[in-house]
Structure 1
Amino acid sequence: MHALLQEMIHYVNGLESGAGRDPEKLLEYETRYDQILERALAEYADVPCSDYYRDGFNLATRLKGYRDSHLLFLHDSRIPATNTLSERLLRNIKRKQNQAVSLRSNKSLEFLCDSMSVLFLMRQEDGNLYEKVSAVF
């Protein structure tokens, strides 16, 4: 499954912007995805997993249950193939949470995430970040 997902990501990333996706290639990827999941679930049907080693079984059932969501990046060019940007942004919040931020409610977490996203968007534009933030206040 790992090799198949890598192949799908390389296919999508290798497309030129605005280029259409080959429907036959997408069907082939989806068919291989389904075959791998069927094989995994058949193996777990033959030899059930124990209570201590349920990770593989749980992963296979999640991959089957959320199949359309996991493969959405193949069909929609607006969906990134990986979530590395979101992971990088969340890593900053998680590091601050462990160091100095005390989040006492979900509302304070929402405020922090909103302010971090506004700062990130302001940072991507040209100009002085301090002046932009002071203009907001």
Structure 2
Amino acid sequence: MNYFLRIFTTAALTFLVLDFTWLLLIARKIYQDQLGSLLGTTKIIPAAIFYSVYLMGMLFFVVYPALEKNSLMYALLAGAFLGLLCYATYDLTNLATIKNWPAFVTIIDLIWGAAVTATTCGFTVFVAQYFKWR
């Protein structure tokens, strides 16, 4: 398997396992309680596009630079910042434009976005360094 596919697959599996665990087991009740009628059924195509684009962003903006710098700390810190930035774009826009959007949802999403992105980027860099992928 080539370098890009190994890195992408590692990041994708890490992110999907963490995010699905969050969405299905941890935050589901919170979102149902807080967002109520705003929730609809999940649309698979837009979700798949989001995951693909977001993963490419993690690789381009964090994972590859971290590997070039040989820095796990860079992966963790830049990953946290990218997650905060991206999740803030969605949640703060909703908070600013959607009537009764709960600030609590925005806060937990910002924390989650930073945590899941940092973890995904950090783990991906760790695995690539451990197996000496290049």
Pair in the same fold by TM > 0.5? no
Choose 1 or 2 for highest CA Rg: 1
Greater helix content? 2
* TM-score calculated relative to the size of structure 2: 0.32
> Which gives a bigger RCO, structure 1 or 2 (Cα 8 Å, sep 6+)?
2
